Structure formats: structure tokens, C-alpha cells
Structure 1
Amino acid sequence: MASPIKDDDDTVKTPEDFPPLLSKKFNITDVKQDALKWDKEWEAAIASSTAADVLKEMSRFLDDSCFDPDAMEFFHQDLRRVQDNVAKILRDLFDEGHFDTIWLLLSVAEKKRHINEGLKGACEAPTFWGQDCRALCPEVTVSNLLTQGGKSFVDFLARVLELTESSLQPAFLPNSWWEQASNLPNPWWEETPDVPPRRQISQSTKLMFEVATINRNKFIGHFIMSSVLSIVSDITNRSGGMKGVLHVMENTKGYVARALAQVKTTFRDKPLVRCENCTKTPEEIGQGVRFMVCSVCKTKLNFEIHYCSQSCQKQDWSLHKRTCGKKPVSKGLSGTKGDSLWAFGDSDPSANMIRDFGKKEGRHLTSLRDIGVNPCKGKRTPAAERQAEMLEADRNVDYFLFTASGEAVRFVIDDPGAKMIFRINRGWVMTKSSETGLDAMGEYILKIMSGYPGLSRRIILKQLCEEHGVSTTRKIMALEKKSREHGKSTFIEGWVKDSSSVFGDLAWLGSR
């Protein structure tokens, strides 16, 4: 705790005596009364304030004349002590190699809860101004730290760790918003009725800014410790919100869990709005553009087709008039409601690969049925070439199997999650773009279709070997063994189960 500060009447004033100026000014709800409202009000207050506003309020009861060299030295040492503890905790977590993956796999609600626990812990920590220190940290808000599926939180921790470990001195996290207040004149130099009289009032805020900066970074340190310890506690105790994530971590290969986590960093919370003609979003156009919707489709079908201008609406009319007010048809533009993969970001490689499957002959992917096989990058066997031609001719079918007499059996997967993963693997196999996928595809076919009339395990394996090579049986049997060891029916079924605990219901992938 900082050394006592004497006021004009020679009484000792400690930091706890300073009134919550900013909390009172912004009328912040008590966190114990309503934590969600408390957080929402603080985020609004931070967004509407400047660094000068914040420092001005804090200068009501303190100025540079209140701090001597000994006090400043104490403040620096106190901050470094907190940062040393933070660095040790973070280094241990990052060295284990799984913390970032676990965090990214958590649900949004769980991420919010842990960040709010960190904020509450920092507000209760021994800093000058208590929760008012939150106003010094515009980057430490729930909304900021949840961007990119929570990756911003991991990046924030890594940045603090790097900065702290790079110096033996107290580390000050850079922030251009806060640094704008680094050299302001004391706004209370000319005494006003609401400022207590002092023997001496400094014209400068240089030391005030430094003290506030120290407490800003101390608040950040306590926030990190509280939020991280909240997460670690849930991991240790296998709390409700953590169970699904730990199941994924323990029952999938490391690269699978990391891949799922990476996908979540590109997930959208809601579909994009794009102009049906020029395909641009409001953000891409900018300047406060207001998108229009087709009034006929909206009224008759409760279906929205968006346009950024009357000009774009007129240009698209020759196409849209065919279905206007008759059928809810859109172009399925990437990321919009018409795109069954709207939740996947444009930079996600898996989603882009799926979309690429549907671009042949200029068609847009609007359903999982549109995922074809695409041209082969190598040379298919005659049997595989026949399979590809039949799949392209009937896109509702996931695979064609043949009985001993040569009769074709249409294998169609109903579960949308399994259909997506099966078709991704099928795409790799049929285009010869990867050695992986054949075992997962074959294992799933055998599990579902071995007992179908006219088919058997032997018949199916014989067909797959003719299509994809004599090593097919060995690859499939090796995966079947691994699946049994992990207590799973098949790799694809296990993936769907594990991913649904992370992504929720995958019904939005369903074919239309």
C-alpha cells in the first residue's frame, strides 16, 4: 500500500478514503447488485471518455505536490512485485502448451464469466481509486477481449508476458488513448469552489499521470491474475462449463483440439448483410450507408434480400424478378443467411475448401448437397472415376456402393455434422489432394452400411480397394483399432460429438 498522503489539515489520507469519483459520475451499478449491468455501464463509460477526462477527475483530490521521491519509488516496486507474480503464472500456463486451446474452446458465456471474474477481482484489489482504475484501461473490456472468438484475450496475455519479461523495471503496457494525457496542465490549478484548498497546488500533472499509469498497469496485473485463476480453478475442479472442453482435450488428438479451437477464432456470431448485387457489406462501403431490403419479399415471404443502393437493386432486377415474392431465393453470398456455412469466417481454410467444392461451373454453395468432388489432381482408378461421375450426377448422394450383382446403393447421410465431415474427407480422397480422409470415410461407410441388404463388410472393402488402392483395407482397420481404443464408434461420429460440445447444435449446417 502506498505511503500516507497528508492533506492541508495534516490528517493522514489513504487511498481507501478517495471517493469513487468516476463510478459516481457515470452512475455505475454496484457489481454485487447486477454484474452484467455493471459491466455494460462501465464499457459505455469507457467508450464515451477521453484520457484527459479521466485524469481531470482523478486530479480533484491529488496533484503532483502530493508525491515525493520515496512514494514514487514505492509505487514502482509495488507494481513490479505484482508483475513478477503475473509473469510467473502466465509463463507456467503457456509452457504447458494447452491453456490457449482450452480457452478458445470454451463457450462465449464461459469466457464472459471468467473475464468478468477478472474485472471484479481487479476492482477489489489494493489500487488507488479502486474500480475507478478500470477507466484507465480501455483495452480491458469483455467485448474487446472476446473478439476473434476470444483470441484477443490470449494475445493480450502474451503481450503482457512479453513486455514484463523483457525488462527488470516496472512494465507499462502501451496504449495510445491513455498516453494522450501524458503532458496536460492541472485543470484544477485555478481553485474552484468544489476543490478542497491546499497549501500548494501543482501546475503539472506529470507525476499524477505517472501514478495513474502505475495503477493502470497494476489493475491490469490483478485482472490477469483473477481471470486466469478463475479459469484454472474450473479446470482443476472440472466445473460444469469446462467439462465439454476437457472431454475434447482428453479424447481427441492434439491437432484435432487445436483445429477446433482455431476454427472458433473465425466464427461469426450472426450472418453478414451483403448487397445482393455488388456483394459488399455495410462495413466495406462505410460512410453510414443504410441497406435496403426488397419490400415484396419481406412482405410476402418474410425473407430479406439486401441492397446497398437503388442502383444495385436495379442492376440485380433481371435476376431477382424471377423469384421475387414467389420463392425465398438468394445467391447464398459468403457469410449471409443464404450461406449454410455463414458462421465460418472468410479466412477459415476448412470453410473455404468446402465453398471451393461448390464453385465448379460458377455455382454458389448454398447447401451441403452442393459439395461435389471437383477435378482430380492426380489419376483416378476406373472404379473411382465411375464413382466421381455418379456423385456429380446426383449430388444428394454421399457415396455409391455396389452389391455383388452390381446394383447401385445410394448412401445418404442425414446428420449434417457427419455429412459435412464425410464430404470434406471424400473431397480429399476423390481429388487426390491429401493422403488423409480415406480411412475416416471408409470406417464410417462400414459402420453404417455393412448390414444393408446385398452389402457386407467384405463387399464394401473390396469396392473401396478397387477405387482407392490395395492399402485401403489396412488404413481403415488401423483407424478402427484407434477408435475402439478411444471408446468411439467411428472417427467421424466422435468428431461430431466432440465438436458439438464446443460449437453447439450443428443443425444449421443442414441441407435445404
Structure 2
Amino acid sequence: MTEDAYRAIPLAGEALIDPEKWDREWETMLRSPHLSGPNGPPFCFKHILTQHRTRPGYTAHGLAAYPTLLSSTCAMQRNMTQDALSYIASQNLDEQWMDASPDERRKHILGAMASVCSKARNLNEARAYCVPELRLSRLRLNGKIFLDLLRSAMIDDITYIPNKPRYISHSMWDSFAPEQEARNTTDEEKLALAELMVLRTKLICYVLHFTLRSFLGLEPPPLQLIKTDHKPEKIDPDTKAMHETIQKHAFGPEEAKKRRQLEVSSAKARISQRLGSCSYMGCHQMEVEGGRKFSRCGACFVKLERQVLYCSQKCQKADWKLRHKAVCGKPLTFDDISTLPEHPANKRGDVSKPEKPADNFFANWDLESGVISLKFPL
């Protein structure tokens, strides 16, 4: 299995069409020693880095989108934690989950993974970054593994949206991330590692959140995706031809053609369904389907095709003072975006405090064992 094997991974568009087939294909891929062993993290890092190096405009687009990716992940993780605390306190979640049959647990976990991974290609590919955590066979047979994973992903203060996510700890990733961070010198390398760690966290938390709500018979939570009008240039013809050859070899000419058609059609459908979100990190409000579109920063879009949206003039003014003035209409480096001012937690008045019963449950958990403390600025 080589780096180019990523061209043959199960497609995001297949996840909802045939979840069982999609999962079987993923399980086959995840059993590869390139992903399941200690080579997994560097292999995944190389995959993202290759995209930055082979697609013109990919890094510039990624640098513009990364602050939103980071802040939306933090907001989502906080919301997941608040929901989980509420379910534990009011619906006896732990006991219900442990009493459920393996098949019942599997149904909800697979449905959650398929729903989340179908929404975006990068979330689908991120399943390869979560081999230790999102193996369906492990999660279904032992209910405690799922509950332990849930606790390790929950933040320890939900009275505000944190500036950094809680990264999911695993020995392979705990050793790889700081070592790779120390070696990184270019924007491509720094951004690739940052995206890898955030997407890994984002997918795990979304799967946990979707699973909980499905299991309890509730509607799925909102899934925030970055809406952008930026279109990176197409892959050069030689690289495209090589990828097509790999797919033909892996699936045969007819199946490879069907996969390309499905990939194109599902990508168009996913992009058309994306909603914008407010770029002010103290807000995170999303557009409503069929409703008013958010205002866009003209300088960023005209000069760089960078999508910076605001739900109101109030948020636009607040973000201008906090961080946007320094980067408006200017090309970004990773050091630029990693040193932007953080939103002070004690000024976030838009986040409600949890109910008291949830506080009591949370206080009894040892969450520090699930924390990875990294030096690089994510």
C-alpha cells in the first residue's frame, strides 16, 4: 500500500448509499499495517502534505480556512460535551448504553459514521486518522470503550467555547505529533500537521455526538462545514492520469469510471448543501437554509477569494478589532494564523452555563488521562 492508495479509499458519497459496503471497504483498508501500526500517523501526515504540494492554491486556501476549522471544532466539542453531560444526568446514558446489545450499538455507531463522513471528503478521509478509536468491531462489542472515548473527548469547562480543542490521546499520536512539529519548517508542513490533528478530533467528536443523539432517538446535531467560493486549480494532467491508472488497477475500468462519476456528483451535492458560518470566533452562528445569507468581507474575497462571513455588523466590528484588521486582504502564513489574538474566555457572554446536575457528574470524572498536551499552536 502506497500513498497513492488514498485514491482508492471508500468514497464519501458511498457512505449513505450502502453503509455496510462502505464500512467493509474501510475495514479492509484500516487493517493495513500502514494505518493500524506505528506507521499510521506519519502515513496520514504524508497524505495531507502531498495534497498541499501537488495542488496549486491548496495551501493558500487551507491557511484561509484553518481558523474557521479550528474554531468550529472547538464550538462543536463544547456542544457535544454539554449534550453528553445532560444525557448522563437526565437519561442515565451510561446504563442504557451498557445494557444495549452489540448489534444495537453497532447500528447507531455505523449510522453516525456514515452520516458524518458523507458530508465532506476530508471528514471521510479522516477515518484513516482514527484507526485506534473508530474501529466499529471494538466499539460495538465493549460498551465501556465507547463511554471511555466519550469522556476523553469531553472538555472540562463548558461555560465558554475554548480556543483550542481537546485532542484525543493515543500513544502513537502522542509521540508522533510533537516530534513532527519540531521538524516542520514550511507552511505546508505546519498546516498539514495542524489539519491532521484537528480533523482527527473533529471526526471522533462528531461520531460520538451523532451516535448519542441517534441512540436516544433525537435529531442529529448540526454539522458545520466551511463554505467557500475558493476553487483551487485542478491537479496537473500527469498526476490526474496517474490517479486514474491506480483506480483502474484497484477496481477495474468500469468500476473506476463509476467511482469517478460518483465522486464528482456527490461532491457537487455536498458543496451545494453547505451553509456559511460567522467568522467571529465569539459567535459561530450558521446560515439557515433558504434564509438570509451572511455578509462577506469584500477585500478578502476580491483579492484572495477568501471567504470571511459575518452574521451581523456587530460581529464584523468585534472581529475587526480582535483579529481581522491584521489580516484583511493579505496573504497568510501559518505563523500569521497561529499567532492571531485569542478570544478571551471571560468575555464570552453568549454561552450558557450547564445545569447543576451535569456539573456534579462532570466533577467526578478523571478527564486528564484523556488529554494530549502539544506544543504546536493549534
Tell me the TM-score normalised to structure 1 length: 0.35
More RCO (CA 8 Å, sep 6+): 2
The structure number with the bigger radius of gyration is 1
Tell me the TM-score normalised to structure 2 length: 0.46
